[in-house]
Amino acid sequence: MTARWSGMDALPPENLYPYTVSRPIYSNPTFEEDNERQAREERTLRERLSCTCRQALKVVKGVFPVIDWLSRYPIREWLPSDVVSGVSTGLVCSLQGLAYALLVSVAPVYGLYSAFFPILTYFLLGTSRHISVGPFPVTCLMVGSVVLTLAPDDHFLLPGNGTGVNGTEADGIVVDVEAMEAQRIMVASSMTVLVGLFQVVMGLLQVGFLVRYLSDPLVGGFTTAAAFHVLISQLKIVLSVPTNNHSGCFSILYTLIDVFTNIRQTNRADLVAGLLTIVIVMAVKEVNSKFRHKIPVPIPIEVIVTVFAAGISYATELESRYGASLVHSIPRGFAPAQPPNTELLWNILGSSFSTAVVGYAVAVSVAKVYAAKHDYTIDGNQELIAFGFSNVFCGCFSGFVASTALSRTAVQESTGGKSQMAGIISAVMVMIVILALGNLLEPLQKSVLAAIVVANLKGMFMQVTEVPTLWRQNRADCFIWLATCLASVVLGLDVGLLAGLVFEMGTVVVRTQFPACSTLGNIPGTNIYRNMKDYKNIAEVPGIKIFKCNAPIYFANIDYFKERLRATVGFDSVRVFKKRNKALKKIHKLIKKGKLRATEGFESEQDSGRESGQVEDGDWPVPEVEVRVDWALELPVRVSVPKVQIHSLVLDFSAVSFLDVVAAKSLRLVIKEFLRIGVNVYIAGCDDEIVRKMEALAFFDEEVTRDLLFLSVHDAILFIKLETANGSMQDAMVEGVRDPEISGLFSDLN
């Protein structure tokens, strides 16, 4: 049996060409039989574990990507560009490392360590050629909030009225600075190691896909909120006013209250230096951005400003004359390696996990941008492992969490960086600063470093301009952005991120719990079926309803699915069944009592008996009476039976991606409810994976068979039309019920 349809049946536009298709009408069973469906082959454990030498080499290259790209490194073509890029990026790394250490509330020298050690391991394990690995403001602030929580100033107060070698005095209170800094870097480095371990474990478990739950709107709202936190945290340094250490909920508000309470204590030298730095850095960055195609190398304005600021501070003795707050000691050399404090790990577990996810998400997002730009691919799971080991290594040498920064990566790429060889050269530059040049920056004002941090926040603040666009494009994404940003500002970064993620998951649940459902109609003369509401030139197939659900069907939306289905067909099959049986029961009693004769709409075996004169009224036994009722006509009993205007229902499952146990059970029951009122149900467009899932869920039985599955909606419609034309399909308007079966049907119903 074949079906033929042609686009020539309807006049096409001049720019379209009609085509004709001729093939059998396929149900799923016949298609599988004709095309010899085969079971999927499953490899044994031994086959999976067997590894050839070539496969082993591939695994080694996967773990250490440097082996692959370094062996093919074109020295003459790439090395000069990488050297220039590495020197430029190294200078920026050094300055940003010093500045971002203020966000972690540790001494600036530890920022240099954080800008050096992660690059070494990422060079061996990373898959991105262009990202600059090192501190990132958001992760630094997340670490800093934990540091201030576990090691606040109050824990290091010393008795006495004066200032000792290891203490500073403010308002008669002496703080043991050396002990405080030692404890704070211990907290920061221990958290960094734990962050790295989380990332390594996630990478080994191949769960890099989990970061995909951090959608672009969520990350945008979160990083914008983080920029507000960074701005407020650096405001007190630019103004050089004393404030208490706040973290957690409403920390921004409390910090602002402290700042404005002590605003009269602002140090003018620090304020002027900070404001000038912000203006100059932002202005020159605008020039770099506007003339990036004309300037061969971006102006390293952070380096220039820092050098000038340090020289001016040294020459004018700002600390002794104006009380400016300086960087002071930047010791030469590296701190000895030390293990993390295991006693702290349980206290920082949750914050470490959220920081690990955020750091990886930001780094991979930036890496993907440059990978697409330069036509290569990155491995998400390998990136997790690379950043994980980088953070473990960095934490063991008194560094804090490493990720990447778009501004620093932009410098590395725009100055000609071709590979991570530029990263190694930048690490060499940072090492030179650590070993030889660090003491030259000791006169530098902290407000200048804070201003550099603030000036680099412009890109994060500009994400606010995405909100109107999101509002026009997708309201749900706009709400995710706003909810995440607001929660992160009010509740803190770690709790805010969790709240934003929960809100995002809630929107996904809502969108799948209330999916878009539609009634389809046929474009005349074609095999095309579309939503009835969207087109004028569309016709509903007489006697057939086509229902489409554009979402997975699972426990949360199966009830909504049934509600929309009832609205589409125009009746409740369960109610129709109850009413019909109630009417049949009354009709049957009337026939038994002889009060009802056969009419055009009613026939019974009694009438033939009466006409032959075999029995008298009320005297004859009726062991079994068959009643055939035309439900389209008016009934002789006072029972309101809903009208059923269709004989077939086609469920378009082409957009259904999965079913669960609850949905399969409920769907099978729905099909049986339609079948027992004479409405045949067909499912069209199921993917093979959905069919396998149905089989696994024991969806099919004696009533709901695999014969109701069809490859497409058009296959199902043509089959229904052929069955109706041949008269083999039961008329939905006529119900045949024998008396003994009535009680059985009611027992099934109850």
pLDDT (tens digit per residue) in 143-153: 988 998 888 87
Mean pLDDT of 94-121: 89
Q: Is residue 750 part of a domain?
A: no
More confident residue, 211 or 133: 133
In a domain, 10, yes or no: no
* Res. 470: pLDDT tops 80: yes
- Is residue 518 classed as helix, strand or coil in its secondary structure? strand
Q: How far apart are CA 78 and CA 415, in angstroms?
A: 12
Asked if 464 and 458 count as a contact pair (C-beta separation under 8 A), the reply is: no
Which of 338, 340, 336 has its CA nearest to residue 193?
340
Instruction: Flag whether pLDDT at 40 surpasses 70.
Output: no
Last residue of a domain, one of 511, 537, 555: 511
Read off the pLDDT of each residue in 79-92 and give the average, rounded to a whole number: 87
Contact 386, 190 (CB under 8 A): no
Are residues 119 and 258 located together in one domain of the fold? yes
Which of these three, 463, 491, 511, is where a domain ends?
511
Mean per-residue pLDDT over the chain, rounded:
81
Nearest Cα to Cα of residue 588 among 634, 622, 565: 622
Is the model's pLDDT at 623 over the cut of 70?
no
Strand, helix or coil at 686?
coil
Q: Is the domain of 193 the same as that of 324?
A: yes
Question: Is there a domain that residue 31 lies in?
Answer: no
Q: What are phi and psi of 685, to 5 degrees?
A: 80, 15
**Residue that the structure tokens 């057939």 belong to:** 544
Cβ neighbours of residue 238 closer than 8 Å, sequence gap 6 or more: 270, 271, 274, 275, 447, 450, 451, 454
Q: Is residue 738 part of a domain?
A: no
Sign of CA dihedral 481, 484, 488, 493: negative
Residues 656 and 700 in one domain: yes
**Structural domain containing residue 523:** 517-571+644-727
Question: Alpha-carbon distance 579 to 585, whole Å?
Answer: 10
d(CA 698, CA 476): 36
Do 440 and 541 lie in one domain? The reply is no
Decide if 616 is inside a domain. no
517 backbone dihedrals φ, ψ, rounded to 5°: -120, 150
Rounded to whole angstroms, the Cα distance separating 340 from 353 reads 16
Contact 426, 86 (CB under 8 A): yes
Mark whether 504 and 530 lie in a shared domain.
no
- Exposure of 348 by Cβ count < 10 A (0-12 exposed, 13-18 middle, 19+ buried)? buried
φ, ψ of residue 167 to 5 degrees: the values are -130, 160
**Opening angle at CA 354, ends 350 and 355, nearest 5:** 115
* Confidence grade of residue 55 (pLDDT, cut at 50, 70, 90): low
In this model, does residue 280 exceed pLDDT 60? yes
| Token couple for 522 | 């046929």
Q: Which residues does 320 contact at the CB level (< 8 Å), separation at least 6?
A: none
pLDDT band, very low/low/confident/very high, at 242 (cuts 50, 70, 90): confident
Question: Which of 466, 481, 511 is the endpoint of a domain?
Answer: 511
Q: Give the mean pLDDT of 689-695.
A: 91
At position 306, the amino acid (one-letter code) is T
| Nearest one of 615, 628, 644, 539 to 587, comparing CA atoms | 628
Tell whether 410 and 524 lie within a shared domain.
Answer: no
Residue 45 domain-assigned? Answer: no
274 and 389 belong to one structural domain: yes
Q: Are residues 488 and 524 in the same domain?
A: no
DSSP code for 326: B
CATH code of the domain containing 715: 3.30.750.24
Looking at the 3D structure of the chain, how many domains does it have? 2
Average pLDDT over residues 370-387: 87
Tell me, yes or no, whether 34 lies in a domain.
Answer: no
> In terms of domains, do 542 and 466 share one?
no
Average pLDDT over residues 413-427: 87
Q: Which of 632, 641, 633, 634 is nearest to 585 (CA)?
A: 641
Instruction: For residue 555, tell me if it sits in a domain.
Output: yes
Q: Which of 65, 614, 729 lies closest to 376 in space, CA to CA?
A: 65
- Which range (3-7, 592-596, 744-748) has the least confidence? 744-748
Q: Judge if 446 and 551 occupy the same domain.
A: no
Q: How confident is the model at residue 613, as a pLDDT?
A: 40
| 651 and 694 both lie in a single domain | yes
Q: Which helix (DSSP H) or strand (DSSP E) does residue 281 occupy? A: helix 268-290
Same domain, 428 and 563: no
Nearest to 226 by CA among 362, 398, 392: 362
